[in-house]
Chain A
Amino acid sequence: VLTQSPATLSLSPGERATLSCRASQSVSSDLAWYQQKPGQALRLLIYDASNRATGISGRFSGSGSGTDFTLTISSLEPEDFAVYYCLQRKVSISFGQGTRLEMK
């Protein structure tokens, strides 16, 4: 089971966002992060915990291993306000419940 926190994060453009994903048991580094916007396909941001997917801005970074993971957006742009999910496939397949990043 993956638990994301916070459920909602209210920040302003230019601020730093830190999103957390905690696994109930170790998933090593086998964790991915996604961005979801209304009406758009989900976009892979980070795979294997810390590797940016093709075409993803350098302001997105992932860290962590085992049970605790973090997605950091260094300086928020208006297009970054969305819902973010983590995913693991180490123990069956499960997603976190999501973090809504909203503009303050």
Chain B
Amino acid sequence: EVHLVESGGGLVQPGGSLRLSCAASGFSFSRYSMNWVRQAPGKGLEWISYISGSSRFIYYENSVKGRFTISRDNARDSLYLQMNSLRDEDTAVYYCARDPPQCGEGSCLSGFDQWGQGTLVTVSS
């Protein structure tokens, strides 16, 4: 059974940093592209970053470009999101989400097929 478990969330001051992790199990992690998606309190879903299985392709949503860095360690079956220069508007639940198996490296038109339960990041002074 596929499991994605996020961790690393918490309370941080504006301008601070935080590193999120997503531990994967139940599938061959290195073969799948992964994503981070966030949801501000009471709001909808927002995709923020993508990384291909080999880490060759990496994409960011404009509002986090230059501040957030996505990475992965296939030996540890783990996905990461390094978040720097955090702002109030980054307050959200952060989810890791898997691309479906039919997707190749670098692009995918299909919806994410597996999600974690999320970790809450609160940016506040």
Given A41-B4, A47-B100: A95 touches B113 (CB 8 Å cut-off)? no
Q: How far is the CA of A91 from the CA of B37 in the complex (A)?
A: 17
User: For the complex, is B68 an interface residue (Cβ under 8 Å from A)?
Assistant: no
* Chain A contacts to B: CB under 8 angstroms: 28, 30-34, 39-44, 47-48, 53, 85, 87, 89-90, 93-98
User: For the complex, is B44 an interface residue (Cβ under 8 Å from A)?
Assistant: yes
* Chain B contacts to A: CB under 8 angstroms: 4, 44-47, 50, 61, 95, 97, 100, 108-118
Q: Establish whether residues A87 and B117, one from each chain, have CB atoms under 8 Å apart when the complex forms.
A: no
Q: Establish whether residues B46 and A95, one from each chain, have CB atoms under 8 Å apart when the complex forms.
A: yes
Q: How far is the CA of A104 from the CA of B115 in the complex (A)?
A: 29
| Total cross-chain contacts (CB, 8 A) | 55
Q: Establish whether residues A47 and B113, one from each chain, have CB atoms under 8 Å apart when the complex forms.
A: yes
Distance from B112 Cβ to chain A, minimum over Cβ atoms (Å):
7
User: Which residues of chain B are within 8 angstroms of A89 by Cβ–Cβ distance?
Assistant: 108-111
Interface of B is mostly: loop
User: Which residues of chain B are within 8 angstroms of A95 by Cβ–Cβ distance?
Assistant: 44-47
A46 nearest CB neighbor, chain B only? B111
User: Which residues of chain A are within 8 angstroms of B97 by Cβ–Cβ distance?
Assistant: 42
Q: Establish whether residues A87 and B111, one from each chain, have CB atoms under 8 Å apart when the complex forms.
A: yes
**6 more A-B residue pairs beyond the given contacts A30-B109, A42-B97, A97-B44, with a C-beta to C-beta distance below 8 A:** A40-B117, A47-B100, A87-B45, A89-B110, A96-B44, A98-B44
Max count, chain A CB within 10 A of own CB: residue among B44, B108, B114: B44
B98 nearest CB neighbor, chain A only? A44
Given A30-B110, A89-B110, A90-B109: A41 touches B44 (CB 8 Å cut-off)? no
Q: How far is the CA of A47 from the CA of B47 in the complex (A)?
A: 17
Q: Establish whether residues A47 and B110, one from each chain, have CB atoms under 8 Å apart when the complex forms.
A: yes
Q: How far is the CA of A94 from the CA of B37 in the complex (A)?
A: 10
Q: How far is the CA of A97 from the CA of B44 in the complex (A)?
A: 5
User: Which residues of chain A are within 8 angstroms of B118 by Cβ–Cβ distance?
Assistant: 41
